[in-house]
């Protein structure tokens, strides 16, 4: 396995471990699926997907675009990019990125909509 692929695998595993430790026991890594990839990590049935990125340079737009496309492929409600933060080892210190549409969806789902 090449070095970049190994780093990506470690990052995906760290995210899964973090999610499981924080109340998401069904989180698991997914196998690669080529052009119709369905995300790197699934959180559970009917849940969003995660596109994990462990790269030197942060590409927020690319991570969000890829997460959205892979969520559509998976039939997931949405996807997020989870990017490794340089100098930090925990997935909890990483950046989770999404577009404004996804953020509004999460706010509504949490009850932060009209009528507050």
Structural domains present in the chain: 3-109 (3.40.1350)
pLDDT level of residue 58 (50, 70, 90 thresholds): very high
- Fill in the DSSP letter of residue 94: S
Helix (H) or strand (E) holding 70: helix 60-74
Tokens of 67: 């997460």
The mean pLDDT value for 22-49 works out to 89
User: Whole-angstrom Cα distance, residue 114 to residue 34?
Assistant: 41
- The percent of residues in the chain predicted with pLDDT above 90, rounded, is 78
pLDDT digit string (tens) for 61-116? 999 999 999 999 999 999 999 999 999 989 999 999 999 999 999 999 999 987 66
Tokens of 94: 């990483």
């Amino acid at each position: 396995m090449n070095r970049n692929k190994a780093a990506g695998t470690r990052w995906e595993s760290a995210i899964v471990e973090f999610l499981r430790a924080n109340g998401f026991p069904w989180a698991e890594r997914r196998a690669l699926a080529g052009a119709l990839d369905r995300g790197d990590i699934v959180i559970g049935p009917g849940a969003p997907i995660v596109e994990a990125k462990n790269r030197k340079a942060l590409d927020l737009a690319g991570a969000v675009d890829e997460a959205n496309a892979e969520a559509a492929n998976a039939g997931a409600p949405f996807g997020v990019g989870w990017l490794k933060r340089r100098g930090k080892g925990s997935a909890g210190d990483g950046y989770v990125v999404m577009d404004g549409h996804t953020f509004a969806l999460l706010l509504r789902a949490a009850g932060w909509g009209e009528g507050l």
